[in-house]
A and B are shown apart, each in its own frame.
Chain A
């Protein structure tokens, strides 16, 4: 059965006195004299939340790798671990997870001492949909998505991220935001600025040890 829902029809008196017009006009005039909520974009920019899906990056080896996964993968592929360089173990799981695998171009090379290291890691972002499957697939927390969202460029060449650039983005990220708690808003004052009429306090982020999970 279809339940029909309708607003109460206006009485003739309400029609004659334009009550509905007046209601609407009162709403718009209240908005007209309240604060604007625009961010003046090129002059002021919002910091996206930490889980924002922006440009890709490679986190570098700095001693915070997820253990024991990282050591296992390093052992399996006999990877040369160089501090300050990409954590990539050339497992190709990102390429397998990708809906458009052609956008990855990954190669490793063998060093003199018999161990291996990633040599080529190109991502063609013209094909990318920023779905984040590759990031979920990465077993060593190497590939990640940063908060860089201004992706416009003058040439198509600029939309291809190579290994050097990925590492640079990763280093920058680890310095700026690695230790930040994961929440939607950058901080409460930011949230206040955007949604000041919604006075809900965010719960303080809680850091729990692994044994509590």
Chain B
């Protein structure tokens, strides 16, 4: 009985910490994105509200909350509001299976810094990732307007193509690790002294492409191509309802998929890896906090890389995007699976 109560309390604490961190960081990533975008274009970005604009997200949030809530005539109110929930919840739920660090012991309880270490963690990630398309399709449909509908149809087309590709891309690491649990995948990488990106570079590149496509970032931001569709499926949303979609799509989803990429390819919380030899930890002086710092560092770098890509590349056409997915990415991943099957015994060693 006592262990059940303790388990529940630990779970609640984990939920609160993860929710707070994810949503708080998500809001502040708008500031990061604006700064990165500005400096790439040689502007200083937000500078007025607080030191170097640090309070800008709060000001934006306040503005969005106090705005008038508009609703399009003849739209479907229920679906219109449901779309917001459907967008926010799956994207946040993905963090339930992201392992932040190794197991540790506190007051005699063994705690894994992962909300639920389910043995089909990755399946859950991609299931929830596919759910995101419903939010966008419903948002486009319920708005009763042309631009949102076109935007959501485009997004649905992209996600359906890239769901297939991303699933095949993660097959490589899955074969090498032999498990679907995210926690176990990291453990395997540490045991095998190998970040899977060293033997799965093709899978990683394909995963990055699919990540950009699923989160609707440049070069695949065709669903909200500003020049053509105004802002795509969010045209008819106003105030905080509008603010939530980019928050979820551009920040929470990118963050969760970056975390999954780090788990799959960069060994989660492990320090720098020399393939098949061992790990070098320049942050050893942090002691037990070193794994968490490593994990956060890797996710941050990956996120910044995605921002860098976003503000560099132009946009692809919808036919080019789907063509790349089906004609190039999918065959590449299939070849990669064969290659992985060949080298797997060496890695299992």
Contact = CB atoms under 8 A, between A and B. Distances in A.
A146 B40 CA distance: 35
Contacts of A37: 42-43
Interface of B is mostly: loop
Nearest to A40: B47
Given A24-B313, A25-B308, A32 B43 contact: no
B309 interface: yes
A34 B42 contact: yes
Contact of A31 (B42, B309, B313): B42
A36 interface: yes
A28 B313 CA distance: 10
A32 B47 contact: no
Contacts of B36: 32
B39 interface: yes
Interface string A19-55: 0010011011101111111101000000000000000
A39 B309 CA distance: 27
B43 A28 contact: no
Nearest to A24: B312
Given A28-B308, A29-B308, A36 B39 contact: yes
A21 to B, nearest CB: 7
B311 interface: yes
Nearest to A34: B42
B44 interface: yes
Contacts of B309: 21, 25
Contacts of B38: 36
Contacts of B41: 31
B313 A21 contact: yes
Contact of B40 (A32, A35, A38, A40): A32
Interface string B25-54: 000000000001011111110010000000
B302 to A, nearest CB: 15
A28 B42 contact: no
A36 B311 contact: no
B82 to A, nearest CB: 38
B76 to A, nearest CB: 41
A31 B37 CA distance: 11
Nearest to A21: B313
A88 B99 CA distance: 80
A31 B36 CA distance: 11
B44 A28 contact: no
A32 B39 contact: yes
A27 B313 CA distance: 11
A27 B311 CA distance: 11
Nearest to A26: B312
Contacts of B47: 40
Interface of B: 36, 38-44, 47, 308-309, 311-313
Given A28-B40, A28-B308, A29-B40, 12 more contacts: A24-B312, A25-B308, A25-B312, A28-B312, A31-B41, A31-B42, A32-B39, A32-B40, A32-B308, A34-B42, A36-B43, A38-B43
30 contacts: A21-B309, A21-B312, A21-B313, A24-B312, A24-B313, A25-B308, A25-B309, A27-B312, A28-B40, A28-B308, A28-B311, A28-B312, A29-B40, A31-B40, A31-B41, A32-B36, A32-B40, A32-B308, A34-B42, A35-B42, A36-B38, A36-B39, A36-B42, A36-B43, A36-B44, A37-B42, A38-B43, A38-B44, A40-B44, A40-B47
Closest 9 pairs between A and B when the two form their complex, measured CB to CB: A28-B312, A32-B39, A32-B40, A28-B40, A36-B44, A24-B312, A38-B43, A36-B42, A25-B312
